[in-house]
Amino acid sequence: MSDALALFERSGALLRGHFTYTSGRHGAEYLEKFRLLEDPKATTALCGMIAARFAGAGVELVAGPTTGGIILAHEVARQLGVRAVYAERGETGNRVLRRGFRVRPGERVLVVDDIVTTGGSLRDTLACMETAGGTVVGVGVLGDRTGGRLEVGVPFFACLTVDFPSYAPAECPQCAAGIAVSAPRGSGAASAVR
């Protein structure tokens, strides 16, 4: 885990400041997945940790949700020597396979994702793979912001597990100290972040 932490820090993906998360809560730390994904060496090394963890699981296919999961599925699959697919949002909001992607009945699938906060994208991708006929044998993520509390019903591996404290705005120590809310570079929002 210290190797993963060093990669997050070196790539600028571990941010410290005063952030408003999409939940509306405030916190002083943030994991910015796109800082990792723009660093091929860090991404390759972290995907290598996932591939090493599941090397003996008989993985035949690696799947990830759009957007960051595309890169990760490809790289983990490359390292394991298997195929990669990705699950996109369908018209009803669920994850679906498009672009001619197929899962063979019983095919052993490893699901990967970037940063897990609530597990929604992971659960949707797991459901997509199972609906397509696959057998999910594990989940690997770059960062787990649940502090290790996420349960997905299959073996789970996170390169980095964190449990950042968060506060209602009225209880936020940084708000009380008058520290302005900041937005991570590339977050696309003035102050709301994941």
**Sequence ranges of the domains in the chain:** 31-163
pLDDT one-digit tens code per residue, 3-58: 999 999 999 999 999 998 877 889 999 889 999 999 999 999 999 999 999 999 99
CA distance 32 to 144: 12
Question: Which one is the CATH code of 31-163: 3.40.50.2020, 1.10.3720.10, 3.40.720.10, 3.90.180.10?
Answer: 3.40.50.2020
Q: Is the peptide bond before 44 cis (omega within 30 degrees of 0)?
A: no
> Does residue 117 contact residue 65 with C-beta atoms inside 8 Å?
no
Query: Which residues in the chain show pLDDT less than 50?
Result: 186-194
Q: What is the pLDDT of residue 1?
A: 55
pTM as predicted: 0.86
d(CA 11, CA 134): 34
pLDDT at 155: 96
Mean pLDDT value across the chain? 89
pLDDT of residue 53: 98
- Beginning with the edge strand found earlier in the chain, give each strand of the sheet holding 192-193 in spatial order: 26-31, 14-21, 192-193
Q: What pLDDT score was predicted for residue 179?
A: 93
The reported pLDDT for the residue numbered 192 is 41
Q: Look at the alpha carbons of 127, 132, 136, 142 in this order and tell me if their dihedral is positive or negative.
A: negative
DSSP class of 163: -
Distance, CA of 52 to chain centre: 17
Q: Residue 85 gets which letter from DSSP?
A: E
Helices 40-53, 68-80: inter-axial angle, 10-degree rounding:
60
